[in-house]
Structures are given as C-alpha cells and as structure tokens.
Structure 1
Amino acid sequence: MEFWLSFNNGEEKLRLPVPPSSFEMQTGSTNTTVNLNDVGEINLIGKRRLKAISLASYFPIQDDGLCQYRDFPKPQKCVEMIEKWRDSGRPIRLIITGDSLTINEAMAIESFNYSQKHGPQDIYYSLELKEYRFLNFKATESASNALLKKIVGDTRPTEKEPNKTYTVRAGDTLLTIAKSQYGDTSKKDKLMEKNGIVDENQLPPGKVLVL
C-alpha cells in the first residue's frame, strides 16, 4: 500500500518512505436526537461529517529494510515540506493506493507532531488530517440569501398594485396619493401626466384620477 501527499495540484509530492502500519478513516453524520413527549427519543439524520484520518510512522535517515523505495528525501526535508504546506493555509491531497482500497481526498492538516529517539536520526511523526470541501461561493451565497429571506422576510420595497381610479378627498396632494396608491411618492409625475394635471395644487375634492 502506497501513501502519497501532494500539494498545489501535484506540483509538490511526498511519498511516505515507510508507510503507516495501519490507519482508520473516520466519518459519520451530524444526527440530532430529539425527545418528544408522546413518542420518546427520535433520531433526525443530518448531513455527512467531514472525514478525518490519523497517520503515524517515521522518516528514515537511511534504508532500514522497511522503506518502499530508494532515494527518498531526508527526514528534515520531509518535515519542512509538510510544515510549509500546513502554513500555506491551503489543502493538500492524500492518496492511498492498495489492492483492495483507493483513497483520494482533499485534506487540511489539523496537526503535525514529530520527535526523535535515541539511536538513528530517524524522525517519528503523527499527522492528523481532516477533509477539505471546496465550496461554490456563488451557490452558497444564493442559498444563504434564500434562507435569510425565509427567516426575516424580503425587506426590499415593493411597488403596490394600485386601484384603477382614485377619488380625491379633502387634504389630498399628489404626493400623498402617489404614496398611498403606489407606495412611491416619485409616481406623482405619472399621476399628473395620466390626468393632464398642470398645477399639482389643483386637486378639488371629488375629482376622479386615473391611476
């Protein structure tokens, strides 16, 4: 089984010289347990959680018989590569290939710990990775806006559907009529044009305006 880490669409790659003896890909769902008075506990199935995996092995200073290939990078070089990728703020890709299993996942480096022991200058490490999801921000923003409108309502001003006519009352002005009938005082000019009004102050009560 081969373990590969790659960065920036394969621009930089690291094949682990000594593969981890085992690994476990952790996954699950964001389920929620709710207690209903008449029913008891029910389980609401949520979306899938991010996958997570822990790898542990060592970077050998020389071939000790457990290395999968020759001419592997020095331990210090391996550490520097992983630290650079971690500090870039960008995801890496984990590729695991075997006879019965293939894993190819974009991952974020959650933690990277390493140490040395007495004896050879091998560097022992543990690497914790968590799945990285690439988001379509345009689609995400549209979904967020739709959810916000559902919660608080659409706050954009909407034009009212006016009646076909309006009978002027005492105290009415073109501004107040435009506001009450259209929801927009700027429609005053529309009223004047439709009704042939030259002087906006000439609004005798009882006059019927076409809207």
Structure 2
Amino acid sequence: MKPTFILADGMTPFIFVVPPLDLEIKTSQKSEKINFIDFGEKNIVGKKNVETITFSSFFSAINSNFYSLKNPLTPILSVETLVKWKNQEKILTFIIPEFTIFKKCQIVEFNYFIRERTGDIDFTITLVEYRTQGRVANTITGLIERL
C-alpha cells in the first residue's frame, strides 16, 4: 500500500508525491518522580505533551519517473512553499487517509539537501501538533478564571 501524505493550508493541499519510507510520531507525557519518606518513590503522571511528526523523502525533478501532476510544483518551488509556511507559522492539517491520521500542526523544522545533479531535492520535515489554549485568562487581572 502506498500511503498519501498531504499537508493542507486550509483548502490548499500540498501532496508529497514520493511517500517516505519511514514515519516517526513521538508522543510523551509529563511525569515527575516524588520521594515520600515512609512510602518510597512515586511517579506522578501529568498531561500529554504535543506530538512530533518527522519524515524524510525527496521532491522529484520534472523529467524523473517519480514526477506526478498530483503536485505539479518543481522541486525548488515545493521547497519555497514549505519554507514560506514555516516562516509564516501557518497552522496546517497533516493527513494520511490510509492510516486515519488527521492532525493540526505547524512546521518547526525543514531541511533540504541538493546532493545529486538529477534535479531531485531530498528533505526532512518536522511537524509539531498544534493545540489551542483550553483555559482563558481574565484580560484585566491576567488570572485564569475558576470554573
């Protein structure tokens, strides 16, 4: 199965024509170890941290067998689009329909490499889950209101 990797800015999709071989999703949770004198050590588990998604692939040159009109951009225009979204701190939607992955995220790291003279550009991208603030502070006092 060849999964479809899509990064969407609203209704503007960016399709990664050559899907990566590996996809890394990191999830973690806040925790703190507390040592009680008569009881011993206890682990206190807190809220979930934001998820981090990392993958690598390449943008194929127009004359390559991997090139597809699913993403008609040249490799350098693909790089410029993702760099622009990163610099503008756009809130994007990362979608892999085959794995039922739909996440709001932002690009925090984007590295690209021109290693060969084929016109292909290799890249590594890191996305971080975007979450809205759940609690609202009072604009006058700056304190979080109690429920």
Same fold (TM over 0.5): yes
Matched, 1:49 2:45: no
Measured on the aligned residues, the alpha-carbon RMSD in Å equals 2.0
Q: Is the 8 A contact 1:52 1:128 kept in 2?
A: yes
- SS of aligned partner of 1:146: coil
Total equivalences in the alignment: 140
* Bigger-Rg structure (1/2): 1
* Other-structure match for 2:123: 125
Q: Is the 8 A contact 2:96 2:102 kept in 1?
A: yes
Distance (Å, rounded) in 1 between the aligned partners of 2:108 and 2:36: 38
* Other-structure match for 2:69: 70
C-alpha displacement at 1:89, in angstroms?
2.2
Relative contact order: is structure 1 or structure 2 higher (C-alpha 8 Å, sep ≥ 6)?
Answer: 2
After TM superposition, list the pairs within 5 Å mapping 1:107-122 onto structure 2. 107-122=105-120
Matched, 1:88 2:84: no
Deviation sequence 1:114-134 (CA, Å, 0-9, x none): 010123011110001110002
- Report which of the two has the higher share of helix: 1
Stretches of structure 2 that go unaligned for 5 or more consecutive residues are: none
- Report which of the two has the higher share of strand: 2
* Other-structure match for 2:4: 2
- SS of aligned partner of 2:102: strand
Q: Is the 8 A contact 1:63 1:70 kept in 2?
A: no
Stretches of structure 1 that go unaligned for 5 or more consecutive residues are: 148-211
Distance (Å, rounded) in 2 between the aligned partners of 1:71 and 1:39: 61
C-alpha displacement at 1:45, in angstroms?
1.3
Q: Is the 8 A contact 2:17 2:70 kept in 1?
A: no
Shift >6 Å, 4+ stretches: none
- SS of aligned partner of 1:86: helix
C-alpha displacement at 1:62, in angstroms?
3.1
| TM-score, L = length of structure 1 | 0.61
